[in-house]
Amino acid sequence: MDRSESIHTYIRPSTSKQTDEHQRSSIEEYLEERGVGLEDVNQYVDVGSGADDEREQFQDLLDHIRSKNVDHVVVWEISRISRRGATLQEFFDICENNGVTIHITDGAVEKVKPDGTGRFVADIVGMVYQQERRQLIRRVESGVRRAKSQGKWLGQVPAGFKRNDDGYLRPIINPKEDEDSYIEMADALERVEEGNSYRSVARSLSISRQGLSNIHQDDERRQWYLRGEADDKRVEDALKAFSEQS
């Protein structure tokens, strides 16, 4: 690898909250040891899941490889390319078919060459990452099922309610500055029922006019506030707890 060759780097933090600094530092150090600076390379950065094959920068990199304008691709570790086995194999194949050497700065294999050197170990590492991803998905799905079976509230919390420390839905009694209490929401919907406009009623609430309209036009949710009734047992239990406190 030298400056006269076409060198491309690829960085992918897992989420927008995760910094790419550790990947960038590792790649920069790897290049400097070989007399190459970041100014000598083409850099690609995506933010997103390794299960997403439509990452814009990743697709741009593939296009450049296919056009035979790339000699080397440098990544922090194999999972940054993808956690999907099929995508990873496709990437290896495209690089191999177009004479591209893949450099991994932090992994069990340092290089995957067009002649197949390093490919076997890289394939095994890729399968391990894929299995880890499957296990993670199973754990998440299991956790969601467990929470639902326990009556815990998942997802966005409805207006006038909060999720307590144990994960159960509870009506808000003493609202914070940016919250509406359950009583305020009930009163607001009663005023709408009496003929007041969504816009005028929403002026006294944190919830938007559209949010208030959505609740009022939802036959099931409207009854949570106007009659204190719910078909959803999680909401029913929350309202029951509220009535016992009142």
Sequential pLDDT tens for the chain (246 residues): 877 899 999 999 865 445 678 898 999 999 999 999 988 999 999 876 656 667 899 999 999 999 998 999 999 988 888 878 888 899 999 999 999 999 999 877 899 999 999 998 888 887 777 776 667 667 756 655 675 666 788 888 999 999 998 889 999 988 988 899 999 999 999 999 999 999 999 998 999 999 999 999 999 999 999 999 898 888 998 888 777 665
Residue 17 has a pLDDT of 46
CATH topology of domain 7-140: Rossmann fold (3.40.50)
Instruction: Parse the chain into domains and list their residue ranges.
Output: 7-140, 161-245
- Say if residues 13 and 55 touch (Cβ distance below 8 Å): no
Residue 242 has a pLDDT of 74
Residue 136 has a pLDDT of 64
Residue 237 has a pLDDT of 87
Give the count of beta carbons closer than 10 Å to the beta carbon of residue 67: 9
Reduced 3-state DSSP string for 201-237: HHCCCCCCHHHHHHHHCCHHHHHHHHCCCCCCHHHHH
Strands across the sheet with 72-75, in order?
42-45, 7-11, 72-75, 101-104, 111-112
Residue 43 has a pLDDT of 94
Nearest one of 131, 179, 32, 13 to 80, comparing CA atoms? 13
Q: CA-based angle 209:211:214, to the nearest 5? A: 110
